[in-house]
Amino acid sequence: MLLWGKARCPASCGEIVQGNIRGKDFLITCPISLYTEVDVKLVPKKTNSSDDCDEFYDKKSYKSYLAALKTLHFFKVEGLKPVIKINTQIPRGIGLSSSTADITATCMATASAAGRYIFSGDIADIALSIEPSDGVMFSGAVIFDHIKGTWKESLGSLPDMDVYIIDTGETVDTKEFNSRKDLLALNQKKEARVMVALEMARSAIKKGDVKLLGEAMIMSAMAHQEILYKYHLENIIESALKFGAVGVNIAHSGSAMGLFFEKNCRIDNGLWKELDRVLKHHTGGYRIIKTCIDNRGPVYLIGGI
């Protein structure tokens, strides 16, 4: 008998705030309406057969394969192996939590295929056992320790906003970034600014204050320049604010940037001309992806492979 499950997880547009406070790493998620969907089919293992050994498809999917195996182990399911199909809208390697979204949807789809339900906290533990991870397995905005998972705090729903992601095509390896020997010292150097940005974000989300939230994003982004410098960031912030953006955020361990506007805000074409001038001066090319905030979190879907 074939058992199957399907789940979907949103991306995160970088982070609203990220840093280290009193020795504890954290980030604030920014869930958006770009998604990974994963189908998992459980089939019987063939004993003493080579096709059960490292039978996985490519490097992009290997983390999901590990997540499926760890989920089966978590539920003590034996004698079955996963066959996984990933369909994603999320660009990889630029800081939109593509790997964590894959892993989250895989854990949920695998649990569903096994007739079980898996909680977000358990998904977080599985994800962190594979690599540093975002908190997209939770709904809304959360404070999340992306290294050890010791801090998980729900902040509630983000205000509805339109988000324009700037993708320059540059990629950053999350695991390598978080292994930098100078990272702790550099995080300590910006700790005071990060604490202010964190409290601003807390207050903004509680009040639904998009402008205060935007200020928190920009403060965190600028404080991070000494860690992962973005040549065009200051010019982009200046242009975005001039044309009505409420804020600009970054992927703190990636290249992506997000421009945030109130929902359904009409944007003057002058913004795109200015951005084109700035980005072409600093990069070989770019694209802009329009999306919006999605506070629903990951969901189980009907259907399968």
Position 194 scores a pLDDT of 98
Average pLDDT over residues 250-274: 97
Average pLDDT over residues 281-289: 85
Look at residues 237, 289, 248, 256 and name the one whose alpha carbon lies nearest to residue 134. Answer: 256
Q: Determine whether 105 is exposed, middle or buried from the number of CB atoms within 10 Å of its CB (0-12, 13-18, 19+).
A: buried
* Higher pLDDT, residue 285 or 7: 7
Q: Where are the beta strands (DSSP E) in the chain?
A: 3-21, 24-44, 80-88, 141-144, 152-156, 161-167, 247-250, 257-262, 287-292, 299-301
Which class in CATH covers the domain with range 3-301?
Answer: alpha beta
**Is there a contact between 217 and 17 (Cβ–Cβ < 8 Å)?**
yes
Position 286 scores a pLDDT of 93
All structural domains of the chain with their residue ranges: 3-301
Q: Where are the beta strands (DSSP E) in 45-186?
A: 80-88, 141-144, 152-156, 161-167
Look at residues 249, 253, 251 and name the one whose alpha carbon lies nearest to residue 236. Answer: 249
Three-class DSSP category at 293: strand
For the stretch 12-61, pLDDT in tens is 999 999 999 999 999 999 999 999 999 999 999 876 554 444 445 555 68
For the stretch 130-182, pLDDT in tens is 999 999 999 999 999 999 999 999 999 999 999 999 999 888 888 788 889 89
Tell me how far apart the alpha carbons of residues 250 and 30 are, in angstroms, rounded to a whole number.
Answer: 10
pLDDT tops 90 at residue 235:
yes
* Structure-token pair, residue 34: 């770009």
Three-class DSSP category at 259: strand
Tell me how far apart the alpha carbons of residues 204 and 51 are, in angstroms, rounded to a whole number.
Answer: 52
Three-class DSSP category at 275: helix
Least confident of 34-43, 76-85, 168-177, 187-196: 168-177
Number of H helices, E strands in the chain: 9, 10
Share of the chain above pLDDT 90, in %: 86
What are the residues facing 87 on neighbouring strands? 37
Tell me how far apart the alpha carbons of residues 302 and 4 are, in angstroms, rounded to a whole number.
Answer: 10
Q: Which residues are within 8 A (CB) of 197 and not within 5 positions of it... i.e. 6 or more apart?
A: 17, 19, 216, 217, 219, 220, 223
